[in-house]
Chain A
Amino acid sequence: DADVTQTPRNRITKTGKRIMLECSQTKGHDRMYWYRQDPGLGLRLIYYSFDVKDINKGEISDGYSVSRQAQAKFSLSLESAIPNQTALYFCATMRPDNTEAFFGQGTRLTVV
């Protein structure tokens, strides 16, 4: 099994719909992250969480919310999807000594 699992892998949704992207990890790490990647660009940080009670906004959090349901689970929500949120979304977890991050395989989201 993968260390970090994202569901769904692909999703097409309509403008204005609420959608949730889910992430679970088996590494047992407290630190989890959501990133967004647009074509030809690097990853940008949306939200990050250092533990179940510690959630922080990243550089592009507007239009997104998150929920840390357990150490292993970190969900990203788009309350009202818009077309410019069409992107590839990655979840990650980090070792507590900050030496290595583990990424999921990504969720390709299309908002039409």
Chain B
Amino acid sequence: DAKTTQPPSMDCAEGRAANLPCNHSTISGNEYVYWYRQIHSQGPQYIIHGLKNNETNEMASLIITEDRKSSTLILPHATLRDTAVYYCIVRVAGWETSGSRLTFGEGTQLTVNP
């Protein structure tokens, strides 16, 4: 799996957009970008994933650069409950078991301030 680089911490004001960057310059053509978050010692929670097109769901948006070497997770209106560690993970998707292992780095601690 490609290596990812994330800032160790970020702050955001409540109600503002939180933009979390991730660098993955060695990503392969068949690797997807996944985002998970972990709220204070709870089990990680899936947020979103994408290959090359921008993606949006009820939780967040994922913007992937055209060269796919970096991406940004956007929480459009951050709340205090979004304070968590956010993990960017790159790996192969699909039905093969080789793509089913999740490798977690140290992530970005996002703190949403009132």
Q: Residues of A with Cβ closer than 8 Å to B?
A: 4, 31, 33, 35, 40-45, 48, 50, 58, 88, 90, 92, 94, 96-106, 108
Q: Please indicate the chain A residues that have their CB under 8 angstroms from the CB of B101 in the complex.
A: 33, 45, 48, 58
- Give residues of chain B (6-50) contacting chain A, Cβ–Cβ below 8 Å: 36, 41-46, 49
Q: How far is the CA of A37 from the CA of B71 in the complex (A)?
A: 26
Quick check: A97 and B93 within 8 Å, CB to CB? yes
Q: Please count the residue pairs between chain A and chain B whose beta carbons lie under 8 angstroms apart in the complex.
A: 64
Q: Please indicate the chain A residues that have their CB under 8 angstroms from the CB of B94 in the complex.
A: 97-98
Quick check: A104 and B43 within 8 Å, CB to CB? yes
The majority secondary structure among interface residues of chain A is strand
Q: How far is the CA of A103 from the CA of B95 in the complex (A)?
A: 19
- Nearest Cβ distance between residue A98 and chain B, in whole angstroms? 5
- Give residues of chain B (82-113) contacting chain A, Cβ–Cβ below 8 Å: 87, 91-97, 99-107
Binary contact readout B58-95 vs A (1 if CB under 8 angstroms, 0 otherwise): 00000000000000000000000000000100011111
Q: Please indicate the chain B residues that have their CB under 8 angstroms from the CB of A42 in the complex.
A: 87, 104-107
Q: Please indicate the chain B residues that have their CB under 8 angstroms from the CB of A106 in the complex.
A: 41-43
- Nearest Cβ distance between residue B44 and chain A, in whole angstroms? 5
Q: How far is the CA of A97 from the CA of B44 in the complex (A)?
A: 18
Q: How far is the CA of A98 from the CA of B45 in the complex (A)?
A: 14
Quick check: A99 and B106 within 8 Å, CB to CB? no
Quick check: A99 and B41 within 8 Å, CB to CB? no
Q: Please indicate the chain A residues that have their CB under 8 angstroms from the CB of B100 in the complex.
A: 31, 48, 50, 94, 98
Residue in chain B with minimal CB distance to A103? B43
